């Protein structure tokens, strides 16, 4: 297959055209991105037998993403990924109230976060796309005009690289991530319970019943959350109550995680510059749609997310790594997913 980029229409949103851009490399890997939510709709890779398949959960039409928006399929999440307690924080002596998505907190940037907006998109080479969006001062309650640039690159080594960049004109919390649900069987297995996962983390943030960090850092050693040695997702998922945990990385900037599906032979390595990753096993994928009350297209545990991030609720936890971006500073993050077979 020739390296390059193709594009085709993918519907309309807010009276603007949505376009699907597909990156291809000579090895045959393909990544498709749409400018609704800067969403990755397909990651097509080969299994050990040379059969290609889409290793993330997604939809064939824009309507699927809009209707299932509360599950955040494949999109960029922001302005603040994960939870902010009470949908409020204090910054430089001023109290801010942001959009409350659930009664006790704000999740993933509000009712209309970066996952539900139209992004500008352009090809900047035969292997990279740039997507840009400017979040207005006061959007979802957050201060400052925040300009975001995303660069999606596909290498000849089957590595999808996500480079994030953001600048602001007022101090504001920033915590961006991608929310792909991976299923390396490419749909041949209904769940990811048999996937083997290793995470380079020995600790996590303790959380309350609403998954808001208490401020305590706990060791994961000899607990169901211990993934320092590779194990199947299903092994301890029952005592864990499903995984939705902020794992603190031992070596930010290095390898973050490994995922292996023995049946297909697909192997994925993740790298990130972020200090943590949220392991989420699609615990709520089977819930009815929140807006149309229709059944979800997927069952519980159909996919797993590895969301590179800062800690949840950091704006309210001064001892957590700082997430405040100030004028003159540049937010940067690089996260990548590399695919091979074993």
> CA separation (Å) from 245 to 207, 284, 305, 311?
8, 14, 11, 10
Helix (H, G, I), strand (E, B) or coil at 316: helix
Determine the Cα–Cα distance for residues 270 and 5; give it in Å rounded to an integer.
24
Q: Where are the alpha helices (DSSP H) in 152-236?
A: none
Please, which residues have CB within 8 angstroms of residue 334's CB and are 6 or more apart in sequence? 161, 162, 163, 164, 271, 272, 273
Place of tokens 């993330």: 56
**Which of 70, 108, 179, 245 is labelled catalytic?**
179
| Tokens representing residue 293 in the block | 């009350």
221 is annotated as an active-site residue: no
Determine the Cα–Cα distance for residues 40 and 33; give it in Å rounded to an integer.
4
DSSP 238: H
| Tokens representing residue 307 in the block | 């969301």
CA dihedral sign, ordered 250, 326, 165, 278 = positive
**Which of 139, 274, 307, 310 is labelled catalytic?**
307
156 is annotated as an active-site residue: no
* First-to-last C-alpha distance (Å) of the chain: 22
Question: Bridge partners of 150?
Answer: 131, 164
Helix (H, G, I), strand (E, B) or coil at 203: strand
Q: Is 222 exposed, middle or buried (0-12, 13-18, 19+ CB in 10 A)?
A: exposed
| Tokens representing residue 78 in the block | 């922001």
> CA separation (Å) from 13 to 112, 307, 323?
13, 26, 31
Determine the Cα–Cα distance for residues 62 and 313; give it in Å rounded to an integer.
31
Place of tokens 């929310």: 179
Which residues are known to be catalytic? 179, 307
């Amino acid at each position: 297959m020739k390296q390059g980029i193709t594009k085709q229409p993918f519907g309309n949103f807010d009276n603007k055209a949505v376009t699907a851009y597909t990156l291809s490399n000579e090895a045959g890997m393909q990544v498709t991105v749409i400018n609704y939510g800067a969403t990755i709709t397909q990651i097509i890779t080969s299994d050990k037998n040379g059969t290609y398949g889409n290793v993330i959960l997604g939809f064939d039409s824009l309507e699927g993403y809009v209707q299932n928006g509360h599950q955040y399929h494949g999109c960029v999440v922001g302005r603040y990924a994960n939870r902010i307690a009470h949908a409020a924080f204090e910054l430089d002596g001023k109290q801010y109230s942001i959009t409350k998505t659930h009664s006790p907190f704000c999740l993933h940037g509000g009712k209309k976060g970066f996952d539900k907006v139209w992004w500008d998109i352009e090809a900047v080479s035969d292997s990279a796309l740039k997507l840009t969006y400017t979040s207005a001062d006061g959007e979802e309650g957050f201060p400052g005009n925040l300009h975001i640039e995303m660069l999606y690159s596909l290498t000849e080594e089957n590595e999808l690289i996500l480079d994030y960049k953001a600048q602001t004109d007022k101090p504001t919390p920033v915590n961006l991530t991608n929310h792909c649900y991976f299923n390396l069987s490419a749909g041949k297995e209904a769940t990811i319970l048999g996937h083997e996962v290793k995470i380079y983390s020995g600790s996590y943030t303790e959380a309350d019943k609403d998954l808001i960090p208490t401020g305590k850092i706990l060791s994961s050693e000899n607990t169901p959350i211990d993934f320092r040695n590779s194990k199947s997702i299903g092994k301890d998922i029952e005592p864990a109550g499903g995984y939705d945990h902020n794992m603190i990385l031992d070596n930010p900037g290095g390898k973050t995680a490994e995922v292996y599906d023995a049946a297909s032979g697909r192997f994925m390595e993740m790298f990130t510059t972020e200090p943590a990753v949220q392991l989420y096993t699609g615990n709520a994928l089977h819930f009815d749609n929140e807006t149309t009350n229709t059944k979800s297209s997927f069952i519980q545990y159909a996919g797993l997310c590895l969301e590179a991030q800062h800690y949840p609720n950091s704006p309210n936890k001064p001892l957590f790594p700082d997430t405040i971006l100030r004028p003159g500073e540049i937010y940067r993050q690089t996260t990548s997913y590399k695919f091979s077979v074993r």
